Amino acid sequence: MDEALLRFLELLEEKLINEKLVKLTLSKPRRKSDELRNVYVKPVQLKAGKYYSFEYKYTQRHEVKNFVAGQAKEKVQQLLETHFMQADLFGLETDSSLTIFSSGKMKLKTRQIEKRAAPDMQHDRQKKRLLNPAAVWWFQLGLADREGNILPSMQHKFKQINRYVEILAPLLKSLPAGQKLHIVDMGAGKGYLTFALHEYLTQHQSRELELTGVEMRTDLVSKTNHIAQAAKLEGLHFDAGSIADYRIENTDVLIALHACDTATDDAIAAGIKAGAKLIVCAPCCHKQIRKAISANAMQHPALHFGILMERQAEILTDTLRALIMEYHGYKSQIMEFVELEHSPKNLLLTGVKSKEAPDKETIAKRINALKQEYGIAEHFLETALGITPF
């Protein structure tokens, strides 16, 4: 181990042991293509004791994990040896900076400072929500009372809506500013997320919108339109229609959360055809590929077990969706998130339109190889796009 890195880790360990760490930042990824851009470390006081919070900042999402002191040092060492080239350590009495050069050489600087105040380690502060429960539409949608208090029975739902907005926020911020944003929310249902997006984008990002919620049930369309008009929410309206049949043009953002089975493929296809800059889907179920798999248990032993075959079908369905989106010029990503504590995990499939032309030949080979391995003749997204199967 390089002497500069060894000394830096010793300084870190000393601050961890003596509780003198204020914060630590890791930056400058070794590879420009890496999704993980920064890691921020700070002490936090949890019910189980003192921990160190690691905030992982990716290009389009954030993650937070907590470690005890010994684990914290190991994690920092791993990240510096494999990922980052800059570390800045801030303490109560001294600061240190470690720089790793492309040649592999390392340089450590340490300086005395005027003594800082100990950091605030309160972790369980009231979380600031992006949505205002006192907004009149939340009462009219049945989530809040007239005083703006979320109803006990709708607490979970309101937190879920906030969570989705938190996840979508960095993706939406990446879209060009200064022009009207056209968004279609396919399968809008009761309109919770559609109203939430309008509130966030107009009140937090000051965006001019043309936001359309598409829903098959005409009674819900009538109700949500009435609420939007009564609240004078400009640029928000709802249309009756199915995901498969609704036609859209020149759309910037296409959203389809929990669209069942091939309805997700219909939504993705609609977004691709409309030239959407951003496509966001939360797939619900995956029946089509499960039925299409012709490989047997001798070829893939996991297919012998029903529950594992179900999971394999889910993985194949969303992997092929992501690859087909990449074939059409999107940078796709599949992320897992936990909606709330003790709740089921979900997958979010996103596609951001890339400025670079895709390597269609290579991507097509990957799609073909995966389909042939499992004996899949066609993915429904190919049908929805009206293209010849790969």
What span, in angstroms and rounded, lies between the C-alpha atoms of 248 and 235?
16
Query: How does pLDDT run across 115-156, given as a tens digit for each residue?
Result: 777 776 654 444 567 899 999 999 999 999 988 889 989 988
Are 210 and 252 contained in the same domain?
A: yes
- What pairing do the DSSP bridges indicate for beta strands 49-58 and 36-46? antiparallel
Are 145 and 229 contained in the same domain?
A: yes
Are 233 and 327 contained in the same domain?
A: yes
Are 155 and 106 contained in the same domain?
A: no
Are 251 and 340 contained in the same domain?
A: yes
Amino acid at 78: Q
Q: Considering 112, 145, 164, which residue would you say is the last residue of a domain?
A: 112
Containing structural domain, residue 145: 136-385
Please indicate, yes or no, if residue 121 is contained in any of the structural domains: no
Which structure tokens are listed for 248? 């859209």
What pLDDT does residue 120 have?
Answer: 64
Are 80 and 142 contained in the same domain?
A: no
In the 8-state DSSP scheme, what is residue 110?
E
In the 8-state DSSP scheme, what is residue 122?
B
Confidence of residue 289 (pLDDT cuts 50, 70, 90): confident
Are 142 and 103 contained in the same domain?
A: no
Are 289 and 374 contained in the same domain?
A: yes
CA 255 from chain centre, in angstroms, equals 13
Are 322 and 222 contained in the same domain?
A: yes
What span, in angstroms and rounded, lies between the C-alpha atoms of 330 and 227?
35
The neighbour count for residue 114, using CB atoms within 10 Å, is 5
The neighbour count for residue 98, using CB atoms within 10 Å, is 25
The closest of 111, 11, 112 to 3, measured between CA atoms, is 11
Rounded to an integer, the average pLDDT of 178-200 is 94
Which structure tokens are listed for 247? 């036609």
pTM: 0.66
Instruction: Say yes or no to pLDDT of 205 above 50.
Output: yes
* CATH number of the domain within which 334 lies: 3.40.50.150
For the chain, the domain total comes to 2
Are 14 and 157 contained in the same domain?
A: no
Please indicate, yes or no, if residue 123 is contained in any of the structural domains: no
CA 1 from chain centre, in angstroms, equals 36
